[in-house]
Structure 1
Amino acid sequence: MKPEFSRRYPLDTIGSAPREVCVEATAAERAALATRFGLEALEALGATAVLTACALGIEAVGRLRGDVVQSCVVTGEPVAARIDEAFALRFVDPALLASEAEETELSDGDCDLIEIDGGAVDLGEAVAQTLGLALDPFPRCAVERAREKERKWAAGADAGPFAGLKGMLGNQ
C-alpha cells in the first residue's frame, strides 16, 4: 500500500553532514490523510527536519505543523485545532528492527524507530504517523469544554471517575 503522503529521500543522498528538508502535503494528500485519521478536514500539514546519517541509520529531528478539524466526541460539532509537534526519529535497517523486536525490554529511545524501506527514508509517512499520534483522541467543542469545567467545579474536590469508590476503601 502506497502512503498518502510520501516524501522519500534515498540513503545515498543523505551524508554525514546535516541536511535540512521541508515537506508540505498537497490538497489531495491532505484529503486522503483526513480520511485515514477520521478528520473532518486537514487544512494544512508541513514539516521541517534535519536528516543526518548516523551509525544506526538516519536521524530526523524536526517540527510538524498542521491545522486539523475533528468532530466533537459529544456533539459532533467541528473542533479546529493547531498541531505543533517536535519530533525525533531514527530510520533503521529492517534487520535491526527485527532484532530489536526480539528484545524483551524497551527503552524510551526504542519508541522512535522506523524501518528504512527500499533504500530510502519516507519522511512524509513519518510525519503522517506523528500527526496521527498528536491528534486529540477525545476532541470537545468549546460548549462541551465549558460544561465539563462546570461539572467539575460543581462536584468539588471529590469529583472524578473513581470518586464513588472512595467510600468502599474504608479508613485505612
Structure 2
Amino acid sequence: MTSSPDAPSSGPNPAPEFSHTVDVRQVEGLAPRLEANETERAALAKRFGLVRLDRLVAQLELSRKERTVSVKGTLDAAWVQTCAISADELPVEISGEPIDVRFVPQLTGYAPDAEIELESDDLDEIEYSGTYVDLGEAVAQSLALSIDPYLTGPDAEAARTKAGLSTPEDNSPFAALKGLTGKD
C-alpha cells in the first residue's frame, strides 16, 4: 500500500494522519495489518483530542464487488484521554473492536443541499473517487467512533460536587417530580 497520484491530495482538507491507500482493482483477497507508528499516533491523538494514543492496530480483510470495496476486521487500540469532569487522565483500551465499512464510488449529479435518504446499510460507507481507497482513514474513523467523548473517571463525582455542578440525574424530569412529592 503506497500513496498514489489518485490518492487524496492536501487541497482544502489536510492529508490524513494515517493514510494507507490501496488500488480498488487489486483489493480482492488482501488481508492487510495496519499499525500506526509514533508520528501517526501523535497526529491522530491531536485530531481526536486525546492525551496520547499508545497503540493502534487493525487487521483487515478486503473484498470487492464491482467498484464497492468491503472492509471487515478488528481494531485494537490503547489511549489516554481526560475525564470530562475532573480532567484526570484515564487509560482506555479496546481489543477486537469490529470494523465493517464499505468504500463506494462518489455520487455525482446531486445538489449539495438536496435531501438524500439513507438506509441503515449506507451509514458505514465512505465515498471515494479515482481508483484508490484509504484504509488508514477508515481505521481512523473507526477509532473515532470508539472514543467516548463524555468519559468520566472515579473522581468525577467529587470534582462535580466541588465545582457545584449538578449530576445529570438532578436535571431529569424524574428528579423534579421527586422534589414535588418530597418522597424518595
**What is the aligned partner in structure 2 of residue 88 from structure 1?**
100
**What is the aligned partner in structure 1 of residue 142 from structure 2?**
130
Counterpart contact for 1:68–1:83, Cα < 8 Å: no
| TM-score, length of structure 1 as denominator length | 0.79
Matches within 5 A, 1:31-70: 31-70=42-81
Counterpart contact for 2:70–2:103, Cα < 8 Å: yes
Tell me which amino acid in the other structure corresponds to 2:126. Answer: I
Query: Is 1:78 aligned to 2:89, yes or no?
Result: yes
**Cα distance in 1 between the residues matched to 2:41 and 2:32:** 19
Deviates more, 1:121-130 or 1:139-148: 139-148
Displacement of 1:55 in angstroms is 3.5
Tell me which amino acid in the other structure corresponds to 1:73. Answer: A
**Cα distance in 2 between the residues matched to 1:12 and 1:124:** 18
**Cα distance in 2 between the residues matched to 1:49 and 1:109:** 19
**Cα distance in 2 between the residues matched to 1:91 and 1:98:** 19
Tell me which amino acid in the other structure corresponds to 1:5. Answer: F
Q: 1:117 to 1:29 in 2, by over 3 A?
A: farther
**Cα distance in 1 between the residues matched to 2:31 and 2:52:** 28
The Cα offsets for residues 91-115 of structure 1, whole Å up to 9 and x where unpaired, read as 011127969x956432210101102
| TM-score, length of structure 2 as denominator length | 0.75
Deviates more, 1:50-59 or 1:22-31: 50-59
Query: Is 1:140 aligned to 2:147, yes or no?
Result: no
Query: Is 1:29 aligned to 2:19, yes or no?
Result: no
**Cα distance in 1 between the residues matched to 2:105 and 2:86:** 45
**What is the aligned partner in structure 1 of residue 26 from structure 2?**
13
User: CA RMSD, aligned part only?
Assistant: 3.0
The Cα offsets for residues 50-83 of structure 1, whole Å up to 9 and x where unpaired, read as 1101145100011111001000111111010012
Tell me which amino acid in the other structure corresponds to 2:57. Answer: G
Counterpart contact for 1:97–1:115, Cα < 8 Å: no
**What is the aligned partner in structure 1 of residue 118 from structure 2?**
106
Q: Specify every segment of 5 or more residues in structure 2 that has no aligned partner in the other structure, as ranges.
A: 1-13, 161-168
- Percent sequence identity is 33
Q: Specify every segment of 5 or more residues in structure 1 that has no aligned partner in the other structure, as ranges.
A: 149-157
